[in-house]
Structure 1
Protein backbone atom coordinates (compact mmCIF):
# COMPACT_ATOMS: atom_id res chain seq x y z
CA UNK A 1 0.00 0.00 0.00
CA UNK A 2 2.81 2.38 0.93
CA UNK A 3 4.60 1.70 -2.40
CA UNK A 4 1.35 2.32 -4.27
CA UNK A 5 1.06 5.70 -2.59
CA UNK A 6 4.64 6.55 -3.57
CA UNK A 7 3.97 5.67 -7.21
CA UNK A 8 0.72 7.66 -7.15
CA UNK A 9 2.51 10.71 -5.76
CA UNK A 10 5.26 10.37 -8.37
CA UNK A 11 2.63 10.10 -11.13
CA UNK A 12 0.85 13.22 -9.87
CA UNK A 13 4.15 15.12 -9.77
CA UNK A 14 4.98 14.12 -13.35
CA UNK A 15 1.62 14.99 -14.92
CA UNK A 16 1.38 18.20 -12.91
CA UNK A 17 4.58 19.71 -14.31
CA UNK A 18 4.69 22.26 -17.11
CA UNK A 19 7.71 23.51 -19.06
CA UNK A 20 8.14 27.27 -18.88
CA UNK A 21 9.32 28.89 -22.14
CA UNK A 22 11.30 31.59 -20.32
CA UNK A 23 13.31 29.32 -18.02
CA UNK A 24 13.21 26.06 -19.97
CA UNK A 25 12.43 24.28 -16.68
CA UNK A 26 9.65 21.90 -15.78
CA UNK A 27 7.73 23.55 -12.95
CA UNK A 28 5.03 22.39 -10.56
CA UNK A 29 1.51 23.20 -11.72
CA UNK A 30 -0.87 21.44 -9.34
CA UNK A 31 -3.36 24.31 -9.59
CA UNK A 32 -4.17 25.44 -13.18
CA UNK A 33 -4.06 29.10 -14.18
CA UNK A 34 -7.71 28.80 -15.19
CA UNK A 35 -8.43 28.66 -11.46
CA UNK A 36 -5.73 31.08 -10.30
CA UNK A 37 -6.30 33.98 -12.72
CA UNK A 38 -9.96 34.76 -11.89
CA UNK A 39 -9.16 34.86 -8.18
CA UNK A 40 -6.10 37.04 -8.81
CA UNK A 41 -8.11 39.48 -10.94
CA UNK A 42 -10.74 39.75 -8.21
CA UNK A 43 -8.12 40.42 -5.53
CA UNK A 44 -6.48 43.03 -7.75
CA UNK A 45 -9.75 44.90 -8.28
CA UNK A 46 -10.47 44.78 -4.56
CA UNK A 47 -7.00 46.19 -3.82
CA UNK A 48 -7.54 49.06 -6.26
CA UNK A 49 -10.90 49.86 -4.69
CA UNK A 50 -9.31 50.11 -1.24
CA UNK A 51 -6.26 52.21 -2.20
CA UNK A 52 -5.60 55.53 -3.91
CA UNK A 53 -4.93 54.89 -7.59
CA UNK A 54 -3.14 57.69 -9.44
CA UNK A 55 -4.66 58.36 -12.87
CA UNK A 56 -3.83 60.80 -15.65
CA UNK A 57 -0.52 62.08 -14.27
CA UNK A 58 2.79 61.94 -16.12
CA UNK A 59 4.02 59.19 -13.80
CA UNK A 60 0.84 57.15 -14.19
CA UNK A 61 1.14 57.36 -17.97
CA UNK A 62 4.81 56.34 -17.77
CA UNK A 63 3.86 53.20 -15.83
CA UNK A 64 1.29 52.27 -18.48
CA UNK A 65 3.57 53.05 -21.43
CA UNK A 66 6.58 51.18 -20.08
CA UNK A 67 4.41 48.28 -18.93
CA UNK A 68 3.01 47.98 -22.44
CA UNK A 69 6.52 47.95 -23.91
CA UNK A 70 7.60 45.16 -21.55
CA UNK A 71 4.47 43.18 -22.44
CA UNK A 72 5.23 43.62 -26.16
CA UNK A 73 8.79 42.43 -25.54
CA UNK A 74 7.41 39.29 -23.89
CA UNK A 75 5.08 38.70 -26.84
CA UNK A 76 7.94 39.08 -29.32
CA UNK A 77 10.09 36.66 -27.34
CA UNK A 78 7.32 34.07 -27.07
CA UNK A 79 6.38 34.31 -30.74
CA UNK A 80 10.02 33.88 -31.76
CA UNK A 81 10.24 30.81 -29.54
CA UNK A 82 7.13 29.13 -30.89
CA UNK A 83 4.73 30.06 -28.07
CA UNK A 84 2.52 32.81 -29.56
CA UNK A 85 -0.54 31.78 -27.52
CA UNK A 86 1.19 31.62 -24.13
CA UNK A 87 -0.31 34.94 -22.98
CA UNK A 88 -3.83 34.46 -24.35
CA UNK A 89 -5.44 34.33 -20.87
CA UNK A 90 -3.44 37.24 -19.44
CA UNK A 91 -5.28 40.52 -18.86
CA UNK A 92 -2.62 43.20 -18.60
CA UNK A 93 -3.17 46.23 -16.40
CA UNK A 94 -0.67 48.72 -14.98
CA UNK A 95 -1.62 50.99 -12.07
CA UNK A 96 0.26 53.56 -10.00
CA UNK A 97 -0.86 53.58 -6.36
CA UNK A 98 -0.01 56.17 -3.72
CA UNK A 99 2.15 54.62 -1.02
CA UNK A 100 5.52 55.30 0.63
CA UNK A 101 6.49 51.64 0.26
CA UNK A 102 9.49 50.90 -1.96
CA UNK A 103 7.62 48.23 -3.81
CA UNK A 104 5.89 47.05 -6.98
CA UNK A 105 4.16 43.76 -7.68
CA UNK A 106 2.41 41.73 -10.36
CA UNK A 107 -0.49 39.36 -9.75
CA UNK A 108 -0.79 36.12 -11.76
CA UNK A 109 -2.28 36.96 -15.13
CA UNK A 110 -0.59 40.35 -15.59
CA UNK A 111 -2.14 42.72 -13.04
CA UNK A 112 0.58 45.17 -11.99
CA UNK A 113 0.89 47.80 -9.26
CA UNK A 114 3.68 50.33 -8.78
CA UNK A 115 3.83 52.28 -5.54
CA UNK A 116 4.76 55.95 -5.81
CA UNK A 117 7.42 55.35 -3.17
CA UNK A 118 9.59 53.28 -5.51
CA UNK A 119 9.69 55.87 -8.31
CA UNK A 120 12.65 57.83 -6.83
CA UNK A 121 14.59 54.54 -6.64
CA UNK A 122 13.74 53.82 -10.28
CA UNK A 123 14.80 57.40 -11.09
CA UNK A 124 13.98 57.28 -14.82
CA UNK A 125 12.18 55.28 -17.52
CA UNK A 126 14.96 52.70 -17.73
CA UNK A 127 14.78 52.16 -13.97
CA UNK A 128 11.01 51.71 -14.16
CA UNK A 129 11.55 49.22 -17.00
CA UNK A 130 13.97 47.24 -14.81
CA UNK A 131 11.43 46.94 -12.00
CA UNK A 132 8.56 46.38 -14.43
CA UNK A 133 10.46 43.61 -16.22
CA UNK A 134 11.17 41.89 -12.92
CA UNK A 135 7.55 42.02 -11.76
CA UNK A 136 6.14 40.94 -15.13
CA UNK A 137 8.64 38.06 -15.11
CA UNK A 138 7.06 36.66 -11.93
CA UNK A 139 3.76 36.36 -13.79
CA UNK A 140 5.33 34.95 -16.96
CA UNK A 141 7.23 32.30 -15.00
CA UNK A 142 4.04 31.35 -13.12
CA UNK A 143 5.72 31.83 -9.76
CA UNK A 144 2.37 32.26 -8.03
CA UNK A 145 1.26 28.89 -9.36
CA UNK A 146 4.52 27.31 -8.22
CA UNK A 147 4.21 28.77 -4.71
CA UNK A 148 0.71 27.34 -4.39
CA UNK A 149 1.97 23.96 -5.60
CA UNK A 150 4.89 24.05 -3.17
CA UNK A 151 2.48 24.91 -0.37
CA UNK A 152 0.45 21.80 -1.17
CA UNK A 153 3.62 19.68 -1.07
CA UNK A 154 4.60 21.24 2.26
CA UNK A 155 1.18 20.33 3.68
CA UNK A 156 1.54 16.79 2.36
CA UNK A 157 4.97 16.57 3.95
CA UNK A 158 3.52 17.76 7.24
CA UNK A 159 0.97 14.93 7.16
CA UNK A 160 3.75 12.42 6.51
CA UNK A 161 5.86 13.90 9.30
CA UNK A 162 2.94 13.73 11.71
CA UNK A 163 2.31 10.05 10.88
CA UNK A 164 6.00 9.21 11.28
CA UNK A 165 6.29 11.13 14.53
CA UNK A 166 3.22 9.42 15.99
CA UNK A 167 4.65 6.02 15.10
CA UNK A 168 8.32 6.44 16.03
CA UNK A 169 8.52 9.28 18.55
CA UNK A 170 5.04 9.71 20.05
CA UNK A 171 6.42 11.41 23.17
CA UNK A 172 8.05 14.12 21.06
CA UNK A 173 5.44 14.55 18.34
CA UNK A 174 4.97 18.28 18.97
CA UNK A 175 8.73 18.88 18.93
CA UNK A 176 9.09 16.85 15.73
CA UNK A 177 6.35 18.82 13.99
CA UNK A 178 7.90 22.13 15.09
CA UNK A 179 11.25 20.96 13.72
CA UNK A 180 9.60 19.98 10.43
CA UNK A 181 7.89 23.37 10.17
CA UNK A 182 11.09 25.31 10.82
CA UNK A 183 13.21 23.07 8.62
CA UNK A 184 10.83 23.08 5.67
CA UNK A 185 10.63 26.87 5.87
CA UNK A 186 14.38 27.62 6.07
CA UNK A 187 15.60 24.76 3.85
CA UNK A 188 12.67 24.56 1.45
CA UNK A 189 10.32 27.54 1.18
CA UNK A 190 12.86 30.35 1.54
CA UNK A 191 15.42 29.00 -0.99
CA UNK A 192 12.51 28.27 -3.35
CA UNK A 193 11.36 31.89 -3.05
CA UNK A 194 14.90 33.23 -3.53
CA UNK A 195 15.25 31.14 -6.69
CA UNK A 196 12.07 32.77 -8.02
CA UNK A 197 13.53 36.21 -7.42
CA UNK A 198 16.71 35.27 -9.28
CA UNK A 199 14.65 33.87 -12.16
CA UNK A 200 12.58 37.06 -12.31
CA UNK A 201 15.78 39.11 -12.37
CA UNK A 202 17.10 37.07 -15.30
CA UNK A 203 13.85 37.15 -17.31
CA UNK A 204 13.20 40.80 -16.49
CA UNK A 205 16.67 41.79 -17.65
CA UNK A 206 16.02 40.15 -21.02
CA UNK A 207 12.58 41.73 -21.38
CA UNK A 208 13.80 45.26 -20.64
CA UNK A 209 16.63 44.79 -23.14
CA UNK A 210 14.26 43.59 -25.89
CA UNK A 211 12.03 46.58 -25.06
CA UNK A 212 14.99 48.87 -25.77
CA UNK A 213 16.20 49.71 -22.25
CA UNK A 214 19.88 49.19 -21.45
CA UNK A 215 20.01 46.35 -18.86
CA UNK A 216 22.83 48.09 -16.95
CA UNK A 217 20.06 50.17 -15.43
CA UNK A 218 18.79 47.17 -13.46
CA UNK A 219 22.13 47.11 -11.66
CA UNK A 220 21.85 50.84 -10.96
CA UNK A 221 18.37 50.38 -9.47
CA UNK A 222 19.62 47.76 -7.05
CA UNK A 223 22.65 49.86 -6.16
CA UNK A 224 20.29 52.67 -5.17
CA UNK A 225 18.06 50.23 -3.31
CA UNK A 226 21.09 48.88 -1.47
CA UNK A 227 22.05 52.36 -0.30
CA UNK A 228 18.54 52.99 1.04
CA UNK A 229 18.23 49.67 2.85
CA UNK A 230 21.63 49.40 4.52
CA UNK A 231 21.27 47.71 7.90
CA UNK A 232 17.53 47.11 7.39
CA UNK A 233 17.46 43.77 5.58
CA UNK A 234 17.62 40.30 7.19
CA UNK A 235 20.32 37.76 6.47
CA UNK A 236 19.86 36.24 3.01
CA UNK A 237 19.60 32.75 4.55
CA UNK A 238 16.44 33.78 6.43
CA UNK A 239 14.95 35.92 3.66
CA UNK A 240 12.55 35.34 0.77
CA UNK A 241 14.82 37.49 -1.43
CA UNK A 242 18.50 37.36 -2.35
CA UNK A 243 20.59 40.09 -0.75
CA UNK A 244 21.04 43.31 -2.70
CA UNK A 245 24.73 42.47 -3.11
CA UNK A 246 23.91 39.04 -4.56
CA UNK A 247 21.42 40.55 -6.99
CA UNK A 248 23.87 43.18 -8.19
CA UNK A 249 26.53 40.53 -8.84
CA UNK A 250 24.14 38.18 -10.62
CA UNK A 251 22.61 40.94 -12.76
CA UNK A 252 26.03 42.20 -13.77
CA UNK A 253 26.99 38.72 -14.99
CA UNK A 254 23.69 38.38 -16.91
CA UNK A 255 23.92 41.69 -18.80
CA UNK A 256 25.86 40.31 -21.82
CA UNK A 257 23.32 37.47 -22.15
CA UNK A 258 20.40 39.93 -22.07
CA UNK A 259 22.05 42.14 -24.69
CA UNK A 260 22.73 39.13 -26.92
CA UNK A 261 19.07 38.10 -26.68
CA UNK A 262 17.92 41.64 -27.52
CA UNK A 263 20.24 41.70 -30.53
CA UNK A 264 18.21 38.82 -32.03
CA UNK A 265 15.34 41.30 -32.23
CA UNK A 266 17.44 44.08 -33.74
CA UNK A 267 17.96 45.92 -30.44
CA UNK A 268 21.56 46.91 -29.69
CA UNK A 269 23.30 49.08 -27.12
CA UNK A 270 26.52 51.05 -27.23
Structure 2
Protein backbone atom coordinates (compact mmCIF):
# COMPACT_ATOMS: atom_id res chain seq x y z
CA UNK A 1 0.00 0.00 0.00
CA UNK A 2 2.85 2.39 0.80
CA UNK A 3 4.41 1.66 -2.59
CA UNK A 4 1.08 2.34 -4.28
CA UNK A 5 0.64 5.69 -2.51
CA UNK A 6 4.17 6.77 -3.44
CA UNK A 7 3.67 6.01 -7.12
CA UNK A 8 0.27 7.66 -7.13
CA UNK A 9 1.79 10.82 -5.64
CA UNK A 10 4.53 10.89 -8.30
CA UNK A 11 2.03 10.59 -11.15
CA UNK A 12 -0.23 13.29 -9.69
CA UNK A 13 2.71 15.65 -9.19
CA UNK A 14 3.91 15.11 -12.76
CA UNK A 15 0.45 15.73 -14.16
CA UNK A 16 0.06 19.02 -12.27
CA UNK A 17 3.58 20.23 -13.12
CA UNK A 18 3.27 19.43 -16.82
CA UNK A 19 -0.04 21.15 -17.59
CA UNK A 20 0.23 23.36 -20.65
CA UNK A 21 -1.98 24.93 -23.33
CA UNK A 22 -2.12 24.26 -27.06
CA UNK A 23 -2.10 27.04 -29.71
CA UNK A 24 -5.91 27.07 -29.58
CA UNK A 25 -5.95 27.30 -25.78
CA UNK A 26 -6.81 23.67 -25.13
CA UNK A 27 -5.33 22.18 -21.93
CA UNK A 28 -2.54 19.67 -22.53
CA UNK A 29 -0.41 17.32 -20.47
CA UNK A 30 3.24 17.43 -21.60
CA UNK A 31 5.70 15.31 -19.62
CA UNK A 32 8.68 15.31 -22.01
CA UNK A 33 11.16 18.08 -22.78
CA UNK A 34 11.56 19.69 -26.21
CA UNK A 35 15.03 18.18 -26.49
CA UNK A 36 13.74 14.70 -25.67
CA UNK A 37 11.02 14.95 -28.30
CA UNK A 38 13.41 16.35 -30.93
CA UNK A 39 15.83 13.50 -30.30
CA UNK A 40 13.02 10.97 -30.59
CA UNK A 41 11.78 12.52 -33.84
CA UNK A 42 15.28 12.60 -35.33
CA UNK A 43 15.88 8.94 -34.48
CA UNK A 44 12.60 7.86 -36.05
CA UNK A 45 13.26 9.97 -39.16
CA UNK A 46 16.75 8.54 -39.62
CA UNK A 47 15.28 5.04 -39.48
CA UNK A 48 12.61 5.93 -42.03
CA UNK A 49 15.23 7.27 -44.44
CA UNK A 50 17.01 3.93 -44.21
CA UNK A 51 13.86 1.87 -44.66
CA UNK A 52 12.09 3.85 -47.40
CA UNK A 53 13.19 4.97 -50.84
CA UNK A 54 13.68 8.68 -51.34
CA UNK A 55 12.64 10.41 -54.53
CA UNK A 56 15.50 11.28 -56.88
CA UNK A 57 13.38 13.49 -59.14
CA UNK A 58 14.92 16.96 -58.93
CA UNK A 59 11.78 18.84 -59.97
CA UNK A 60 9.58 17.05 -57.43
CA UNK A 61 12.06 17.68 -54.64
CA UNK A 62 12.42 21.35 -55.58
CA UNK A 63 8.64 21.79 -55.67
CA UNK A 64 8.07 20.24 -52.23
CA UNK A 65 11.02 22.18 -50.78
CA UNK A 66 9.64 25.43 -52.22
CA UNK A 67 6.22 24.98 -50.62
CA UNK A 68 7.69 23.86 -47.31
CA UNK A 69 10.18 26.72 -47.08
CA UNK A 70 7.46 29.25 -47.86
CA UNK A 71 5.66 28.02 -44.75
CA UNK A 72 8.54 27.39 -42.36
CA UNK A 73 9.90 30.91 -42.82
CA UNK A 74 6.73 32.09 -41.07
CA UNK A 75 7.16 29.64 -38.18
CA UNK A 76 8.80 31.04 -35.02
CA UNK A 77 12.09 29.51 -33.88
CA UNK A 78 11.46 26.26 -32.07
CA UNK A 79 13.10 24.88 -28.94
CA UNK A 80 14.95 21.64 -29.51
CA UNK A 81 16.01 22.18 -33.13
CA UNK A 82 17.24 24.96 -35.42
CA UNK A 83 16.02 24.08 -38.91
CA UNK A 84 13.45 21.97 -40.73
CA UNK A 85 14.50 18.98 -42.83
CA UNK A 86 12.31 17.79 -45.72
CA UNK A 87 12.52 14.43 -47.49
CA UNK A 88 10.32 13.30 -50.38
CA UNK A 89 9.68 9.55 -50.28
CA UNK A 90 9.04 7.69 -53.53
CA UNK A 91 5.79 5.93 -52.65
CA UNK A 92 2.19 5.75 -53.85
CA UNK A 93 0.99 6.55 -50.32
CA UNK A 94 -1.23 9.63 -50.20
CA UNK A 95 0.40 10.94 -47.06
CA UNK A 96 2.81 13.31 -45.34
CA UNK A 97 4.01 13.78 -41.78
CA UNK A 98 6.07 16.04 -39.55
CA UNK A 99 7.97 14.88 -36.47
CA UNK A 100 9.36 16.69 -33.44
CA UNK A 101 12.79 18.00 -34.26
CA UNK A 102 11.62 19.60 -37.51
CA UNK A 103 11.51 16.47 -39.69
CA UNK A 104 9.04 16.50 -42.58
CA UNK A 105 8.25 13.63 -44.92
CA UNK A 106 6.12 13.88 -48.07
CA UNK A 107 5.12 10.87 -50.17
CA UNK A 108 4.97 11.33 -53.94
CA UNK A 109 1.48 9.77 -54.00
CA UNK A 110 0.18 12.86 -52.20
CA UNK A 111 0.99 14.98 -55.26
CA UNK A 112 -1.66 13.12 -57.27
CA UNK A 113 -4.32 14.38 -54.83
CA UNK A 114 -2.88 17.73 -53.69
CA UNK A 115 -2.83 19.01 -57.25
CA UNK A 116 -1.40 22.51 -56.75
CA UNK A 117 0.87 24.43 -54.40
CA UNK A 118 -2.00 25.65 -52.25
CA UNK A 119 -3.36 22.16 -51.65
CA UNK A 120 0.11 20.82 -50.87
CA UNK A 121 0.60 23.77 -48.50
CA UNK A 122 -2.63 22.75 -46.74
CA UNK A 123 -1.19 19.33 -45.96
CA UNK A 124 2.27 20.55 -45.00
CA UNK A 125 0.82 23.33 -42.85
CA UNK A 126 -1.37 20.76 -41.13
CA UNK A 127 1.56 18.44 -40.41
CA UNK A 128 3.76 21.28 -39.13
CA UNK A 129 0.88 22.32 -36.88
CA UNK A 130 1.07 18.92 -35.17
CA UNK A 131 4.66 19.77 -34.20
CA UNK A 132 3.88 23.33 -33.12
CA UNK A 133 1.02 22.06 -30.95
CA UNK A 134 3.19 19.38 -29.29
CA UNK A 135 0.74 16.65 -30.26
CA UNK A 136 3.37 13.90 -30.19
CA UNK A 137 4.44 14.94 -26.69
CA UNK A 138 0.81 14.96 -25.65
CA UNK A 139 0.21 11.45 -27.02
CA UNK A 140 3.29 10.04 -25.36
CA UNK A 141 2.46 11.75 -22.07
CA UNK A 142 -1.06 10.33 -22.08
CA UNK A 143 0.35 6.86 -22.74
CA UNK A 144 2.89 7.28 -19.96
CA UNK A 145 0.23 8.30 -17.45
CA UNK A 146 -2.11 5.52 -18.59
CA UNK A 147 0.60 2.89 -18.15
CA UNK A 148 1.64 4.34 -14.79
CA UNK A 149 -2.02 4.12 -13.78
CA UNK A 150 -2.03 0.50 -14.89
CA UNK A 151 1.00 -0.14 -12.70
CA UNK A 152 -0.74 1.52 -9.74
CA UNK A 153 -3.80 -0.70 -10.23
CA UNK A 154 -1.75 -3.87 -10.39
CA UNK A 155 0.26 -2.92 -7.31
CA UNK A 156 -2.93 -2.19 -5.41
CA UNK A 157 -4.33 -5.58 -6.37
CA UNK A 158 -1.10 -7.32 -5.49
CA UNK A 159 -0.77 -8.57 -9.07
CA UNK A 160 2.47 -9.79 -10.62
CA UNK A 161 1.17 -9.40 -14.19
CA UNK A 162 2.55 -5.91 -14.88
CA UNK A 163 5.56 -7.30 -16.76
CA UNK A 164 3.30 -8.18 -19.71
CA UNK A 165 2.67 -4.46 -20.30
CA UNK A 166 6.35 -3.48 -20.47
CA UNK A 167 6.43 -3.72 -24.26
CA UNK A 168 3.40 -1.46 -24.60
CA UNK A 169 5.01 1.14 -22.34
CA UNK A 170 8.27 1.07 -24.27
CA UNK A 171 6.43 1.40 -27.58
CA UNK A 172 4.45 4.39 -26.29
CA UNK A 173 7.73 6.05 -25.39
CA UNK A 174 8.77 5.91 -29.05
CA UNK A 175 11.20 2.99 -29.09
CA UNK A 176 10.28 1.90 -32.59
CA UNK A 177 9.41 3.71 -35.81
CA UNK A 178 5.95 2.14 -35.96
CA UNK A 179 5.09 3.47 -32.49
CA UNK A 180 5.79 6.55 -30.40
CA UNK A 181 5.74 9.80 -32.36
CA UNK A 182 4.14 8.01 -35.30
CA UNK A 183 1.10 6.88 -33.32
CA UNK A 184 -2.08 8.20 -34.95
CA UNK A 185 -3.49 11.42 -33.59
CA UNK A 186 -6.98 11.71 -32.16
CA UNK A 187 -9.84 13.66 -33.74
CA UNK A 188 -9.32 16.63 -31.41
CA UNK A 189 -5.67 16.90 -32.41
CA UNK A 190 -6.48 16.47 -36.10
CA UNK A 191 -9.09 19.22 -35.98
CA UNK A 192 -6.69 21.50 -34.11
CA UNK A 193 -3.96 20.86 -36.70
CA UNK A 194 -6.45 21.73 -39.45
CA UNK A 195 -7.15 25.13 -37.90
CA UNK A 196 -3.56 26.00 -36.96
CA UNK A 197 -2.28 24.71 -40.31
CA UNK A 198 -4.85 26.77 -42.22
CA UNK A 199 -3.73 29.94 -40.45
CA UNK A 200 -0.11 29.07 -41.18
CA UNK A 201 -0.55 28.45 -44.90
CA UNK A 202 -2.69 31.59 -45.31
CA UNK A 203 -0.08 33.65 -43.46
CA UNK A 204 2.49 32.25 -45.91
CA UNK A 205 0.59 33.57 -48.94
CA UNK A 206 -1.24 30.43 -50.04
CA UNK A 207 -4.96 30.37 -50.83
CA UNK A 208 -6.86 28.93 -47.82
CA UNK A 209 -9.92 28.21 -50.00
CA UNK A 210 -7.92 25.45 -51.66
CA UNK A 211 -8.00 23.53 -48.37
CA UNK A 212 -11.65 22.74 -49.06
CA UNK A 213 -10.84 21.50 -52.56
CA UNK A 214 -8.05 19.35 -51.13
CA UNK A 215 -10.39 17.49 -48.81
CA UNK A 216 -12.91 17.05 -51.60
CA UNK A 217 -10.07 15.43 -53.57
CA UNK A 218 -9.21 13.29 -50.54
CA UNK A 219 -12.82 12.12 -50.33
CA UNK A 220 -12.77 11.16 -54.02
CA UNK A 221 -9.42 9.40 -53.64
CA UNK A 222 -10.77 7.32 -50.77
CA UNK A 223 -13.72 6.25 -52.91
CA UNK A 224 -16.10 7.09 -50.11
CA UNK A 225 -14.71 4.19 -48.08
CA UNK A 226 -14.21 6.18 -44.87
CA UNK A 227 -15.50 4.61 -41.64
CA UNK A 228 -18.08 6.46 -39.51
CA UNK A 229 -16.54 9.43 -37.71
CA UNK A 230 -17.02 7.95 -34.25
CA UNK A 231 -14.99 4.89 -35.31
CA UNK A 232 -12.15 6.88 -36.84
CA UNK A 233 -9.25 8.84 -35.36
CA UNK A 234 -9.80 11.50 -38.04
CA UNK A 235 -12.78 13.81 -38.50
CA UNK A 236 -15.03 12.83 -41.40
CA UNK A 237 -14.34 14.58 -44.70
CA UNK A 238 -17.65 16.47 -44.47
CA UNK A 239 -16.93 17.67 -40.91
CA UNK A 240 -13.44 18.72 -41.92
CA UNK A 241 -14.70 20.68 -44.91
CA UNK A 242 -17.41 22.50 -42.93
CA UNK A 243 -14.95 23.41 -40.15
CA UNK A 244 -12.45 24.74 -42.68
CA UNK A 245 -15.11 26.82 -44.44
CA UNK A 246 -16.07 28.40 -41.12
CA UNK A 247 -12.46 29.16 -40.23
CA UNK A 248 -11.71 30.66 -43.66
CA UNK A 249 -14.45 33.25 -43.09
CA UNK A 250 -12.70 34.48 -39.94
CA UNK A 251 -9.15 34.64 -41.31
CA UNK A 252 -7.59 38.12 -41.51
CA UNK A 253 -6.03 39.41 -44.71
CA UNK A 254 -2.36 38.65 -44.17
CA UNK A 255 -1.19 40.45 -47.36
CA UNK A 256 1.66 37.98 -47.69
CA UNK A 257 3.56 37.63 -50.95
CA UNK A 258 2.16 34.70 -52.90
CA UNK A 259 4.72 31.90 -53.39
CA UNK A 260 5.46 30.68 -56.89
CA UNK A 261 6.16 26.96 -56.55
CA UNK A 262 5.54 24.90 -59.68
TM-score, normalising length from structure 2? Answer: 0.79
Q: Residue 105 of structure 1 corresponds to which residue in structure 2?
A: 97
Q: Residue 225 of structure 1 corresponds to which residue in structure 2?
A: 218
Q: Residue 142 of structure 2 corresponds to which residue in structure 1?
A: 150
Stretch deviating more after TM superposition (60-69 or 234-243): 234-243
Q: Residue 266 of structure 1 corresponds to which residue in structure 2?
A: 255
Task: Report the Cα offset of residue 230 of structure 1.
Answer: 3.1
Q: Residue 81 of structure 1 corresponds to which residue in structure 2?
A: none
- Asked if 1:67 is matched to 2:56, the reply is no
CA gap of 1:49–1:9, structure 2 versus 1, over 3 A, is closer
Q: Residue 93 of structure 1 corresponds to which residue in structure 2?
A: 85
Task: Report the Cα offset of residue 223 of structure 1.
Answer: 0.5
Task: Report the Cα offset of residue 3 of structure 1.
Answer: 7.5
For 1:25-174, list aligned pairs within 5 A.
25-55=26-56, 57-75=58-76, 85-87=77-79, 89-162=81-154, 166=157
Task: Report the Cα offset of residue 90 of structure 1.
Answer: 4.4
Task: Report the Cα offset of residue 224 of structure 1.
Answer: 0.7
Identify unmatched segments of 5+ residues in structure 2: 162-182
How many Å separate the matches in 2 of 1:230 and 1:255?
A: 26
Q: 2:13 aligns with which of 11, 14, 25?
A: 11
How many Å separate the matches in 2 of 1:19 and 1:157?
A: 23
Q: Residue 229 of structure 2 corresponds to which residue in structure 1?
A: 236
CA gap of 1:103–1:209, structure 2 versus 1, over 3 A, is same
Q: Which structure: greater helix fraction?
A: 1
Task: Report the Cα offset of residue 6 of structure 1.
Answer: 5.7
Q: Residue 245 of structure 1 corresponds to which residue in structure 2?
A: 238
How many Å separate the matches in 2 of 1:139 and 1:3?
A: 35
How many Å separate the matches in 2 of 1:5 and 1:209?
A: 46
Bigger RCO of structures 1 and 2 (CA < 8 A, at least 6 apart) = 2
Identify unmatched segments of 5+ residues in structure 1: 76-84, 174-189
| 1:222-242 deviation digits (Å, cap 9, x = unpaired) | 011011213422222122111
How many Å separate the matches in 2 of 1:223 and 1:103?
A: 15
Question: How many residues were matched structurally?
Answer: 235
The SS at the match of 2:81 is coil
TM-score, normalising length from structure 1? Answer: 0.77
- Alignment RMSD (CA, Å): 2.8
Q: Is the 8 A contact 2:8 2:152 kept in 1?
A: no
